Amino acid sequence: MAKSISYVIAGFNEEKIIESAVTECLHFLNGSFIDYELILVNDASTDNTGFIMDRLSAQYPYIHVLHNYINLNFGASVLRGLVYASKEIVLYNAADLPLSPSITSELVDEIDDYDVLVLQRVNYRSTGWRKLTSSINTVLLNILYPRLIKGTPVLNFVQVFKKDVIKDIIPFARSPIFVWPEMVFRAKLKGLKVKNRITPMRDSQIRKGSFGKPHDIIWGIYDMCRFRLRCWQKKL
C-alpha cells in the first residue's frame, strides 16, 4: 500500500492495556504499510502509562510519545496527536481499541476519494448512563445542527482524516463530546468531501468512559452553543 498513515492513541492511566494495544496496532500497521507512525499521547497519567509509552518508543522507531503535563481530556489530547501527525492519512483510536486495527487498511483505501471518513458505530455496548448521555448528545446535535448532522448521525466514535485538511477544521471545542462533531461540521461548511461509514465496535468492548460526568455535559453544551452562535454570526 502506497499511502502513509499516522495512527493516534491517547490515554489516561492505561498502564494495564497500553502495551498490548501498541503491539496489536504495530502488527497490522507493519503488515499493511511501508510508511507509518504510531503517536501515543499520555494525558498526564498518574500511573505508569507514560513510562511504558517511553519504553515502547525507545524500542520501536515508529512510535512517538507526547506528554501532557496537565490532564486535557481525550478530545484535546487526540487533537495534539492530529496536529503532530506527519503522514498522508491520520486516524485515532482509544487505548482499549474499540475500533479494531485490523481494518485500518480498508479505511485508508476508502478515504481515497474523500477528505474525512466518519465511522458510525454499531453494536454499541456501554453502561446505561453512558448510553443515556450519548442519546441526549445526539438529540442536542440534531436540534442545533439539523442540516450539518445530516448524513453523519454518529459523531463521537472514530474519524479518519487526510492530513492536509486538518489545519482547516481545528475546532474551538475542547470538551470530550464536541471536538469531533465540530471538526465534521467545519469540514462540511468548507465544502470538503465527508463520507459516513457504518463500522462495528468490538463485541468484547464495554464502554464505561468518563464523558458522562456533569462537568463534561455542561462543557459540551457550552461548546455546542458557542459554535452555533458563531455559525449564525458567520464568524468561522
Confidence of residue 112 (pLDDT cuts 50, 70, 90): very high
DSSP string, 168-219: TS--S--STTTHHHHHHHHHHHTT--EEEEEEEPPTT--B--STTSHHHHHH
Spatial CA neighbour of 13 closest among 71, 59, 75: 71
Q: Is the dihedral of CA 54, 86, 177, 114 positive or negative?
A: negative
Q: How many residues does the chain have?
A: 236
pLDDT tens digits for range 120-172: 988 766 667 667 777 788 899 999 999 999 999 989 899 999 999 999 999 99
pLDDT tens digits for range 1-50: 568 999 999 999 999 999 999 999 999 999 999 999 999 999 999 999 99
DSSP string, 88-102: SEEEEEETT-SS-GG
Task: Parse the chain into domains and list their residue ranges.
Answer: 1-101, 114-236
What global pTM score does this model have?
A: 0.92
State the pLDDT at residue 128.
72
Burial class (CB in 10 A: 0-12, 13-18, 19+), 95: buried
State the pLDDT at residue 217.
85
Within 10 angstroms of residue 38's Cβ, the number of other Cβ atoms is 22
- CATH homologous superfamily of 1-101: Spore Coat Polysaccharide Biosynthesis Protein SpsA; Chain A (3.90.550.10)
Mean pLDDT over the full length of the chain: 91
Asked if the model's pLDDT at residue 196 lies above 80, the reply is yes
Spatial CA neighbour of 96 closest among 185, 211, 204: 204
